[in-house]
Each structure stands twice: as structure tokens, then as C-alpha cells.
Chain A
Amino acid sequence: MNRRRFIRAAGLTTAGAFAAPYILPSGRLFASSGQPLAGHVVYVLFAGGVRQQESVLQRYLDDSQGLPWEGNIMYNMLNGDAPQNKIVYGTDQGGGAEGGTPIPRILNQTLQTQGLLFKEVSSQSNGHYGGLNNLLQGSTVTTQGLKQKPVNPTIFEYLRRHGGYKATDAWFVGNGIGNSIPLLNYSNHPDYGSKYGANFFAPSVTFGNLGFEHLSNAKVYHPENELDPMYQMKYFLDQSFSSVGQGGDSLGNTEEEKQRIKQFMRDTYERVTQGLIAFPPVTDNSDSLNIGFACEVMREFQPAITVVNLSDVDGCHSDFTGYLRALHRADHAVGHLWNYIQTQIPGMANDTVIIASPECGRNLQHNPIKDVNDWYAYDHSDFNSSRVFTLMAGPSVPSNLVLGSENNSIGFTSDNVPTIAEILGVKDEVMNAGFLQSGARSLFERI
């Protein structure tokens, strides 16, 4: 062997020795770089355009309708006393005025006390679609149109590709199939895509009337005697077809995972029929309903990442009273979600971080529409719509800490993706992938 060939062979051998340990059985190319801070993340997309004035600033009617009544209507999430006058956001259960009975508090200790509140955060979009994409991608791509899958990888894909999580470790529970909600469980990015996507249900449809009519009567095939040969035949057919270069759009659920999901669907139809779904104590809107099914998903799969989308507060475009009620219920639903995890899911209790951020705020100035209380409604398009908050709690999250203020904005909504990546141990891979918004970083680095 001459000197040149020896050097080349030695170089290749050395490179192989470095590369081989990183080709892992799970299919990911590299071992994740970080140590997870917790086993699970529950990420609440909260809740359809929330004004700072009625949420963290707790001004109730004072900063919207010119009525001098302040107070906190989100007392599971935030510290602060509830309003004392003109109560409209509750239920009718106590009699008296419509909505005049506030929903009882669920959490003994608010999430703010248990965790960390970034009181003033910049949302990088004034709209739902851009806002949701930003919360899930960590960036907003201006060329990305409605009814289009995300262009850049989502947090689900980062976690599954770089963290080696299986498909049922990643769930997105959407509150409907409108707009682009069902498209947000994975991107079109060629290096990521469906095989790293999240499982998704829109429970109002999947387990609603339509689901009952068209999906609940599925024939149950015997796993070995029937399903096994059926899949053998399917795989034979797919193999023939793959020879001409075409394939399906699989999320990469294994056969076992598929069986588990199908069984979960059957069980859930049964639990709906029997009234056993883990709904919040007050479930009278679609957000509360969605949280109940999210609890069911978490109880069954104990995912590494569960994203829950809430959006009822968006009724604020035409109904400010309805907005206050939806905001109060969104807080109630989040309180229930956190309480359910801590008390009913032992595998997730004390090992879960919750993060909640609105995808956008709402305008400073009202529109001309008045509701039944003669109160003005609010859209979302001006600078006030880019003002939001981020609340997080759980292991490794400092407790009882508030950062930022009305005049001191800290961080961006795009920070949530690297934050989740850090909690679940893949921050470096996400940061180095190069698709995050410029300046985005883990919120732990902003403390």
C-alpha cells in the first residue's frame, strides 16, 4: 500500500468510526444532544386572539368599554382577584343575571405561582394562521398561504426526527377542521414531513355526530387471523406500486400504534355514549369539549408532546361578552387540564411542563359592532394584536417568577419551539436546523 492509499483508507476508517455510533436503531441519524428537562410537554395554543388588557393586565371592562371595573377572570392561570361588579362571564347556574355566577377555581395554586409568566411577549403575527404557524414552527413564513401545510418543520417533526419519538408520542388536538387546523400536524419540508408528523384528532368531528355516523361502526378484525394477512396483501400491493415511485402519506404509526389508536377510538365512542369523557366541570363550549378529549388522549398515550388548540375567544370579532365568557372558560379548561394531568395520569404527573401562549392579541381600538350588553367588539390587526403573554409551569421551570411588563417586552412567540425542544432534549438540533425566526431562542435563556 502506498502512502496516498494508506492515508485515504485511514481517513475513511476514522470517519466511519465517528459516524457509526450516530446511526441509531430508531432511524434518526444523530443522538439527541441534550438531557430532557421533563418527560412531557403540554402546549396550549390559547385561545384565538387574547387581549393583554383582559388577560394579564386584568382590566376586565376598564380598558375596553369605558367602565371602571377591573379584575382577573383567569384565576386558574393568573394571580389576582376576580372582578366584583358587572359579572357576565360565568354561568347561569346561580340564577340572577345571565353569566352572573363565576366558575369555581380548580387549581389551589395558580399556574403563575407554580411557574413562570412572561408578561409581555411579541407575537410575530396579528392573525390566527400566521400566529399558529409561528407557535408550531418557530417562524412565520410570509409566503405561506392559507389552507397550506407549514413550509418549515413543526415542533412535532423536530422532536420525532431528532429526538427519536414515535408517532403516538406526538399529538395535536385541534378544535375543528376549519381553516388550516388539520394541516398543522406536519410540514411540507422535504427533510421532515409526514413521516415525522403528529397524530391529530379534531374531536368535535371525530367524536361528534359525524364521527359517530361514519366512523364509530368500524368492523373489528382479528389481529392475527384477519389483519395480519390483510396487511400482508396490502404490503405486497404497495411494494408493486412503489416500484413505479409512488407512496402514501403515512405518519409512521406502526401497526401496533395503529391498533392502539383504533382501539382508543372505539373506547372513546363508548365513553362518549356513557358520559365518561374527562370534560372540565363546566363544558358548555367547544374549547372545554376539546380539552376533555385532550385529557383522554393524554391518559391513553401519555405523549411527549401534546398540543391543544383553543379558539372560542375569537367570537370577540362581534361579541365582547361572549369573548369574556370564552376567556374565563379557556382558563377553566387549562386549570382542569393541569389538574387532570397531576391527579389522573400518574405517568405524566410531576413530569410535565405546560406552556400556554395566545397566537395573537387583539386590537387596541374596538370595531363598531355592539353586543347584547352594548359593548364594543375587537378585531385583531393593529400593534396591540402583537402583544401576548407566555405562561409555563412544571419541572425545571422557576416558580412564582414574572418577567417583563407592559413597557418591557421580553421574547417572542417563536421562542416556544426552541423552549419545548430544550425541555425534550433536542434544542441544539432545532437551533442548528436553521428554520427558526431570527432571534428566536429558548425562554430558559431569557430568564
Chain B
Amino acid sequence: MPISDFKPRSLSLVLLISILQFGLSSCKKEIEPDQYELNQVVLYPSISAKNKLKSQEQFVSILYTNLFQQALSGNKLVEIIDCLESIGDKELGREVLISNFMNDPAVQLPSDSTMRANPEAFVAETYERFFVREPSQAELTWFSNFINAHPQLSAEMIYFSFALSNEYLYY
């Protein structure tokens, strides 16, 4: 078709189609997604949810890790379990075992000065270490008062009582 036959009307139509095509394909609205954030929260089990008794193996392994900050070898674990089996009063057996651990130079205990510098922080840390939970306000208050009222009390003695407690037998 000669150029003279090209009509302005046709040109307009082509332009309109081009504009529409460009517009439909490029004019998308940018949608900002809603973002929600959570505060970092450490979730601890509730005391009332602890209804499963630890096996002897679990108890000894966890106790050793809590007191020495390292894992107990499999051989030693078996030997210690045998020793506990050989004593009828299991609570007494655990007490003797803990007393032996406390006499080991490798035991990792906080210093008494650290404990006394901030009793509440120490108590909270001890609850988290042994019971994997935060203390209630009543527990925090009781222990803080107990520490302040007993100048001879050591971090070792507190660790001992936690390790010997009934709650420590459960998870």
C-alpha cells in the first residue's frame, strides 16, 4: 500500500493499541507486603508439664553436663549407672554421686562472689540450668532471701540441692 493510502485514522488506532499494550504491561502497582515481627522469647516447659521420669542414664548424663559443662563418656556412664544400681536407696545413691562429682577438681561452679553480687540473677540462672525453666517470683524471692540470710551458703551447696531435688528427676 502506497504511503498516500495510509490514513490518519489507522495511525491513531495503531498508536492507541501500542499505548494500551505498554500501559497494561508496565503499570503495576507496587504492593508492599505487611511484615510482622516477633520479639525473641525463650520458651521453657512449665513445671506442671514435667511428668516424665528421667531414666538413670538421662539423669546421670544431664547431671554430668550441668556440673562439668561437657559430655560424659559412654563407658563412664555405664559404670556410674552400675554404681547407682548397687544402692537400694536411690536418693541416697544420687546424693553420694553428686558429692563425688563435687569433689572432682574439674567441676564447673560459679564463684560465691558472683552469686552474692546478684543473687536474683544467680537463682534465675540456676533454675534455667537445672530445671530448664524460670523461677516463679515466689521461688526467686525465697532463694534470694535464703542466700542473704545464710552467709556461709555457697554456690556449690545450692547446686547440690537442685541436683538432688525431685524436680530434677523429671522432664
Q: A237 near B: Cβ within 8 Å?
A: yes
Which residues B117-171 have CB closer than 8 A to chain A?
136, 139, 142-143, 146, 150, 152-153, 157-158, 160-162, 164-167, 169-170
**Chain A residue, CB-CB nearest to B48:** A244
- Whether the pair A213, B99 counts as a contact (CB closer than 8 A) is no
| In the assembled complex, B100 has its CB within 8 A of some CB on chain A | yes
Of A177, A203, A231, A241, chain B has the most CB atoms within 10 Å of the CB of A241
8 A Cβ contacts from B86-135 to A: 86-92, 95-97, 99-100, 102-104
Q: Which residues of A contact B170 (CB under 8 A)?
A: 241, 246
Which B22-57 residues have C-beta < 8 A from chain A? 47-48, 50-51
Q: Which residues of B contact A167 (CB under 8 A)?
A: 89
Q: Which B residues are in CB contact (< 8 Å) with A220?
A: 99
Contacts of A167-213 to chain B: CB distance below 8 A: 167, 172, 177, 182, 185, 197-206, 210-211, 213
B157 A236 Cβ-Cβ under 8 A: no
- A249 to B141 Cα, complex, angstroms: 29
Chain A's closest residue to B170 (CB) is A246
Evaluate contact between B96 and A215: CB separation under 8 angstroms: yes
Q: How far is the CA of A203 from the CA of B83 in the complex (A)?
A: 10
Asked if A113 is at the interface of the complex by the 8 Å CB criterion, the answer is no
A244 and B88 contacting across the interface, CB-CB below 8 Å? no
A146 / chain B contacts, CB cutoff of 8 Å: none
In the complex, what residues of B have CB within 8 A of residue A206's CB?
A: 83, 86-87
Does A86 sit within 8 A of B, measured CB to CB? no
The listed residue with most B CB atoms (<10 A of its CB), out of A172, A177, A237, A258, is A237
The CA-CA distance from A278 to B100 in the complex, in Å, is 26
Q: Are A240 and B47 in contact (CB under 8 A)?
A: yes
| A236 closest partner in B (C-beta) | B142
Assess whether B165 is in contact with A241, with CB atoms less than 8 Å apart.
yes
A408 at the binding interface (Cβ < 8 Å): no
Contact A229 B157 (CB under 8 A): yes
Contact among B79, B92, B100, B157 for A258, CB-based, below 8 A: B92
Among B66-91, those with CB < 8 Å from A are 79-80, 82-83, 85-91
Q: A225-B152, A230-B160, A240-B139 are in contact. Are A199 and B89 (CB under 8 A)?
A: yes
Task: Tell me the total A-B contact number using a CB cutoff of 8 A.
Answer: 139
With A177-B82, A211-B83 already in contact, the answer to whether A241 and B166 are too (CB < 8 A) is yes
Q: Which residue of A lies closest to B161 (CB)?
A: A233
B108 to chain A, nearest CB (A): 16
Q: Tell me if A234 is interfacial: C-beta within 8 Å of chain B.
A: yes
Query: Chain A residues with Cβ under 8 A from B51's Cβ?
Result: 246
Q: Contact between A210 and B139 (Cβ–Cβ < 8 Å)? A: no
Measured between beta carbons, the chain A residues less than 8 angstroms from B91 are 248-251
Which residues of B sit under 8 angstroms from A177, Cβ to Cβ? 82, 85-86
Q: Which of A215, A230, A244, A249 contacts B161 (CB 8 A)?
A: A230
B103 A242 Cβ-Cβ under 8 A: no
Report the bound CA distance from A198 to B95 in whole Å.
18
Chain B: interface size category: 35 or more
**Is there an interface contact between B86 and A211, defined as CB atoms closer than 8 Å?**
yes
Task: Answer whether A242 and B150 are a contact pair too, CB < 8 Å, given A172-B88, A230-B160.
Answer: no
A218 touches B (CB below 8 Å): yes
Report Cα–Cα, A137/B167, bound state, in Å: 32
Cβ B85 vs Cβ A202 within 8 A: yes
A219 within 8 A of B: yes
Most buried by B among A217, A219, A258: A219
Which B residues touch A210, using CB under 8 A? 79, 82-83, 86
- By beta carbon, the residue of chain A nearest B102 is A219
Are the CB atoms of A258 and B89 closer together than 8 Å?
Answer: yes
Contact B89 A219 (CB under 8 A): no
Q: In the bound complex, how far is the Cα of B83 from the Cα of A117, in angstroms? A: 38
Could you list some 22 contacts between A and B, CB below 8 A? Answer: A200-B87, A200-B88, A200-B89, A205-B85, A206-B86, A211-B86, A214-B100, A215-B97, A218-B96, A218-B103, A219-B102, A226-B152, A230-B157, A230-B161, A230-B164, A236-B146, A241-B47, A244-B48, A250-B89, A251-B88, A262-B95, A265-B96
Q: List the 10 closest pairs (A to B, CB-CB), nearest first.
A: A200-B88, A233-B161, A205-B86, A218-B99, A237-B165, A202-B86, A241-B167, A219-B103, A206-B86, A177-B85
Q: Besides the contacts A205-B82, A219-B99, A251-B89, what 15 more A-B pairs have beta carbons closer than 8 Å?
A: A177-B82, A182-B86, A197-B88, A202-B85, A206-B86, A206-B87, A218-B99, A221-B157, A230-B164, A236-B146, A246-B169, A246-B170, A249-B91, A258-B89, A265-B96
